[in-house]
Amino acid sequence: MQIVIIGGGFAGINLAKELANEKGIEVILVDKNNYNFFPPLIYQVATAFLEPSSISYPFRKFFAGKKNLQFRLGELLKVIPAENKIILNNGELHYDQLVFATGAETSYFGMENVKKNAIPMKTLNDAIEMRNALLKNLEKAAICKDIHERRKHLTIVVVGGGPTGVEVSGMFAEMRKNILLKEYPELQTSASNIYLVDGGDALLSPMSEESQKDTLEAVTKLGVVVKLNTRVVDYKDDTVYFADGKTIQTKNLIWAAGVSAREFEGIPTESYGRGKRMATDAFNKVNVTENIYAIGDTCIQLTDANFPEGHPQVAQVAIQQGVNLAENFKRMIQNKPLKPFKYNDKGSMAIIGKNKAVVDLPKPKMHFKGFVAWIIWLFIHLMSLITYRNRINTFYHWMIAYFSKDQSLRMIIRPEKRTKRDA
């Protein structure tokens, strides 16, 4: 059985890992990047507290020694189900079973100016671009004589009150307190604001009321201005426009407000559900197809009695679906009945700042905050990294940051643009 996996995020990499060295199964993982990365920590790359290699790892190195796993660098253009074939930007592949694990991409809700001018927080490339943009704006602010222009460079607006928005705004607040005034003495008398904006009536809306209340209190104490029930409608000329008519002037709009799955040529229109997610049965097989599957953020499954509206688009769902589908592929080979997917909710968490986090555990129902929650968050995220090398590297940088309240990774590194090829 030849299985082609499109996408190497949480879902795809765990599916491949579970099928490693399995007799009778050959796996080809296709991804437009040559590395797997850990999305929950990209904001720490963006704020220069981690280097990109701490949360990423090359697929080929990970697959080394696993005889039935192959990697293909490429981007999917089209599926031809009748021929069990996919067309990539650099060739084509045939499959017996095709698995979509393509995750989700940033959604701007149709606002073209926001899409063009805001800084997204979804990929490792986004994180590096954000780090460069923020550092360059700090350098510009340091030499800017116009007080209003300087304030634009220093003001940060984070849109989205989920874990990413809370975590990145908390990190900015910590940086402002412990780092910026020390390294940028030119800015000591300059006003700067960090805004956290969300269209709902609470931060971390999927979490418990205790977590929502604790988070609001913690980020406010850090100096973040929280604006709830506030919807962005445009961003142009360095100005964020809100639905209530108010505005904020800034050169730093961080977009962490929403995600959407992708549609692919060759997949029937009837196969898609809410948010462009592929609708699947209890075994993650895409509706109206024979041998095409979808796992993780790119799918919506309405067969789990505990989640009749579909599972949340979080890492644990992707990981568990990848493991369950791997088990079902093994069962196909052995002519055994397949196992329907049931999500085991292990809880949710978010970090706010140093010694500050919130954790909700469903079984038993418990809520943690402060230092204990912070330790739990660190441990879970550290152990979720894909290799020991990533864990050791990340732990090393975290310890430096904890004891020194600083990091030394604030370099603006970007490719040099060349007009002609080197001789």
Instruction: Specify whether the CB–CB gap between 36 and 386 falls below 8 A.
Output: yes
Q: How far apart are CA 58 and CA 37, in angstroms?
A: 9
**pLDDT higher than 60, residue 194:** yes
Q: 232 pairs with which residues across the strands?
A: 242
Q: How far apart are CA 148 and CA 259, in angstroms?
A: 33
Q: How far apart are CA 316 and CA 346, in angstroms?
A: 8
**How far out from the chain centre does Cα 384 lie?**
14
Cα–Cα nearest to 103, from 224, 175, 3, 13? 13
pLDDT at 395 (0 to 100): 85
**pLDDT higher than 50, residue 338:** yes
Pick the range with the lowest mean pLDDT from 30-39, 252-261, 324-333, 397-406: 397-406
Alpha helices in 100-145 (DSSP H): 112-117, 124-143
DSSP 266: T
DSSP 306: T
**pLDDT higher than 50, residue 420:** no
Q: How far apart are CA 401 and CA 108, in angstroms?
A: 33
pLDDT digits (tens, 9 = 90+) for 268-291: 999 999 989 999 999 999 999 999
Kindly tell me the burial class for residue 193, based on how many C-beta atoms sit within 10 Å of its own C-beta (0-12, 13-18, 19 or more): middle
pLDDT at 419 (0 to 100): 46
pLDDT at 421 (0 to 100): 45
pLDDT digits (tens, 9 = 90+) for 49-92: 888 888 899 999 999 999 999 999 999 999 999 999 999 999 99
Cα–Cα nearest to 191, from 238, 140, 148? 148
Give residue 413's pLDDT band: very low, low, confident or very high (50, 70, 90).
Answer: low
Domain boundaries, the chain: 2-32+74-104+261-333, 112-259+348-404
203 sits in which H/E element: none
Give residue 48's pLDDT band: very low, low, confident or very high (50, 70, 90).
Answer: confident
pLDDT at 310 (0 to 100): 93
Q: How far apart are CA 243 and CA 280, in angstroms?
A: 36
Average pLDDT over the chain, rounded to whole?
Answer: 90
Angle, to 10 degrees, between the axis of helix 370-384 and the axis of helix 388-404?
150
pTM of the full structure = 0.89
Kindly tell me the burial class for residue 11, based on how many C-beta atoms sit within 10 Å of its own C-beta (0-12, 13-18, 19 or more): buried
Q: How far apart are CA 162 and CA 205, in angstroms?
A: 7
Cα–Cα nearest to 2, from 98, 79, 100? 98
Cα–Cα nearest to 95, from 109, 111, 75, 81? 81
The CATH homologous superfamily to which domain 2-32+74-104+261-333 belongs is: FAD/NAD(P)-binding domain (3.50.50.60)
Residue type, 201: D
| Mean pLDDT confidence for 113-122 | 92
Q: How far apart are CA 307 and CA 361, in angstroms?
A: 17
Instruction: Specify whether the CB–CB gap between 77 and 89 falls below 8 A.
Output: yes
Domain 112-259+348-404 CATH class label: alpha beta
pLDDT digits (tens, 9 = 90+) for 364-386: 889 999 999 989 988 888 888 87
- Tokens representing 49 are 């507290």
Q: Count the residues in the chain.
A: 423
Kindly tell me the burial class for residue 139, based on how many C-beta atoms sit within 10 Å of its own C-beta (0-12, 13-18, 19 or more): middle
- Confirm whether 2-32+74-104+261-333 and 112-259+348-404 share one CATH topology: yes
